[in-house]
Copies of this chain bind each other. A is one copy, B any other.
């Protein structure tokens, strides 16, 4: 059980790379599966053996996004600073990354797919690393009394996630014509103000 599997992985990688490149070049909706399989000298059979749908090619990118948060964003946060600052900084870094590295078309496609598919979505997966990151931060904030009382860590994460979704949805909808960073700053300015004790 090796030679076959190896060949499969190679095909999958070839398809993934070509597809992502094409999507990036001309947009998700302007690239057909037929085109992808032709260009990679494969077939529909090969494509749908490795992916459940055209959308799912993005699952790769998705894991990549969260991995980037864990590997490159979280380490940048200064553990000596208050949770409030770290949270603000994380959100800022996150949105900068999405705006510059992921782009609105990929984001739009992901948001669309999550709504359209019946299958288990990535957004709903409770083991998504992003949730862990936020939960840890929020728990720490609660423990040292930075937040207003009455919220559980889970409440706060829910609030943050909703806010993120709203900003990212809107940004995708506007096809990148508005500044993600600016929108993020305004909304999370308000949200964080509403969450934290304001004593200084």
Contacts and interface: CB of A to CB of B under 8 A. Distances in A.
A170 B165 CA distance: 8
Interface string A151-183: 000010011011111110110111000000001
A115 B173 contact: yes
Nearest to A190: B194
A110 to B, nearest CB: 10
Contacts of A190: 159, 191, 194-195
A186 B154 CA distance: 11
A195 B194 CA distance: 7
A164 B195 CA distance: 18
The size bracket of the interface on A is 35 or more
Interface stretch (A33-41, A68-76, A80-88, A116-124): A116-124
Contacts of A121: 173
A191 B160 CA distance: 11
Given A166-B166, A167-B162, A173 B124 contact: yes
Contacts of A173: 114-115, 121, 123-124
A187 interface: yes
B124 A116 contact: no
Contacts of A111: 115, 169
Interface of A: 29, 108, 111-112, 114-116, 121, 123-124, 148, 155, 158-159, 161-167, 169-170, 172-174, 183, 186-187, 189-195
Nearest 3 Cβ contacts at the A-B interface: A166-B166, A194-B194, A162-B166
Given A166-B169, A169-B169, 17 more contacts: A29-B116, A112-B115, A112-B116, A114-B173, A115-B169, A121-B173, A158-B187, A159-B186, A161-B166, A162-B166, A163-B166, A163-B187, A165-B165, A189-B194, A191-B194, A192-B194, A193-B193
